[in-house]
């Protein structure tokens, strides 16, 4: 295949070809096309071209190259999701190779902590939740003052958070329900306290700020006194809007830690594992 054709293409056309081949999943052809491009700096800084190179590098298992591309150029937001996936998947694969066996949820969490997303492909916003941290903070703050906003107040909240009034309503409804459930659970736990059955109360990162799991990723060591801690947390967190103060539904509940499907990104937020997945339903 002669190199000649590429000289006949404008940058826009090159970008178009890159997009088409990527969307079509024709990565072999894409690789050939990229290889055939003239060594023009301007061309190779084009975002579509870079994205294509990243995809091809990933496809070929050339992860060094992939990381280099992802880290050395600022990408526009609409490309972030795809590129973040590449970054993460590549690191997971490498970690799995080291470990010699597939990665579980916690293993992946650790990988993400060790290799945080570069700001070239990430805007820094915590995205494990559906709503941005900023929005959630506003809602939490409000909740501590009044868990029952009026319709007008909900509208104002919606505006302040960039959410819809339905989302605001649902957030409050869920929050109140979880508070109630947690409260009930707490009462039940303190009754069962002397039974010594701590298995269901494991949720190690109660003290937040420390490392997530001390032991292997397959097991969670139960904290010393889960009930006290959880109580503490419940009470303590109420006055700290900055800290996630969701009720510990998952703590005493029927959900053992293994059921934590979410990927707790930040330490104090790992408490919200089970809540995270239900938050997903809120959309956005």
Partner 1 sequence: MILSMDYPSYTTFGQNQYAQYYSASTYGTYMTSNSMDGTGSSSAYQLQDSNPVMTVQANELQPEDTVQSPMKELDDRGCRSGGGAKARGRGRKNNPSPPPDSDLERVFVWDLDETIIVFHSLLTGSYAQKYGKDPPMAVTLGLRMEEMIFNLADTHLFFNDLEECDQVHIDDVSSDDNGQDLSTYSFATDGFHAAATSASLCLATGVRGGVDWMRKLAFRYRRVKEMYSTYKNNVGGLLGPAKRDAWLQLRAEVEALTDSWLTNALKSLSIISSRSNCVNVLVTTTQLIPAVAKVLLYSLGSAFPIENIYSATKIGKESCFERIVSRFGTNITYVVVGDGRDEEHAASQHNMPFWRISSHSDLLALHQALEFEYL
Instruction: Between 79 and 277, name the residue whose CB sits nearer to partner 1.
Output: 79
Nearer to partner 1 by C-beta: 64 or 78?
Answer: 78
Long-range contacts formed by 260-267: CB under 8 A, 24+ apart: 260/105, 261/105, 262/128, 263/105, 263/108, 263/109, 263/112, 263/128, 264/109, 264/128, 264/205, 264/212, 265/109, 265/112, 265/126, 265/128, 266/126, 267/205, 267/208, 267/209, 267/210, 267/211, 267/212
Class of residue 181 by CB neighbours under 10 A (exposed 0-12, middle 13-18, buried 19+): middle
Q: Please give the structure tokens belonging to residue 61.
A: 């298992």
Q: Is 195 in the site for partner 1 (CB under 8 A)?
A: no
Q: What is the token pair recorded at 220?
A: 């969670």
**In whole angstroms, what is the distance from residue 275 CA to residue 213 CA?**
19
Number of residues that bind partner 1 (CB under 8 A): 16
Judged by CB under 8 A, which stretch of 7-15, 107-115, 211-219, 234-242 contacts partner 1?
7-15
Length in residues, the chain: 284
Tell me if 72 contacts partner 1 by CB under 8 A: no
Candidate segments 3-11, 61-69, 140-148, 268-276, binder of partner 1 by CB under 8 A: 3-11
Residue 9 in contact with partner 1, rule: CB under 8 A: yes
Question: Which residue lies nearer to partner 1 by CB, 51 or 112?
Answer: 51
Q: Which residues are CB-contacts of 81 (< 8 A; sequence separation ≥ 6)?
A: none
Tokens of 57: 């590098």
**Which span sits near partner 1 by CB under 8 A: 2-10, 62-70, 170-178, 218-226?**
2-10
Instruction: Specify the residue, 20 or 40, whose C-beta has the smaller distance to partner 1.
Output: 20
* Minimal distance, residue 43 CB to partner 1, in Å: 14
The contact pattern for partner 1, residues 32-71, with x = CB under 8 A and - = no contact, is -x--------------------------------------
Per-residue x/- marks for partner 1, 16-35, CB under 8 A? xx-xxx-xx----x---x--
């Amino acid at each position: 295949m002669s190199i000649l054709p590429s000289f006949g293409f404008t940058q826009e056309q090159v970008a178009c070809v890159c997009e088409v081949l990527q969307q079509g999943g024709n990565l072999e052809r894409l690789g050939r096309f990229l290889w055939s491009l003239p060594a023009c700096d301007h061309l190779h800084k084009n975002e579509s071209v870079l994205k294509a190179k990243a995809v091809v590098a990933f496809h070929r298992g050339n992860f060094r190259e992939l990381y280099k591309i992802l880290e050395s150029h600022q990408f526009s937001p609409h490309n972030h999701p795809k590129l973040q996936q590449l970054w993460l998947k590549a690191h997971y694969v490498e970690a799995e190779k080291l470990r010699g066996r597939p990665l579980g949820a916690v293993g992946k969490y650790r990988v993400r902590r060790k290799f945080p997303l570069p700001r070239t492909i990430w805007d820094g916003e915590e995205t494990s939740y559906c709503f941005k941290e900023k929005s959630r903070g506003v809602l939490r703050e409000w909740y501590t003052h009044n868990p029952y906003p009026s319709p007008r107040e909900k509208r104002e909240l919606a505006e302040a958070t960039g959410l819809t009034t339905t989302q605001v309503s649902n957030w409050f409804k869920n929050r109140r329900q979880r508070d109630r459930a947690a409260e009930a659970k707490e009462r039940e736990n303190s009754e069962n306290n002397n039974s010594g059955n701590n298995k269901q109360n494991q949720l190690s990162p109660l003290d937040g700020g420390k490392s997530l799991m001390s032991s292997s990723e397959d097991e969670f060591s139960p904290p010393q006194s889960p009930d006290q801690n959880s109580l503490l947390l419940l009470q303590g967190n109420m006055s700290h809007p900055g800290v996630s103060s969701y009720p510990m539904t998952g703590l005493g509940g029927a959900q053992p830690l293994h059921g934590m499907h979410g990927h707790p990104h930040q330490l104090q937020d790992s408490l919200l594992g089970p809540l995270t997945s239900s938050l997903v339903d809120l959309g956005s």
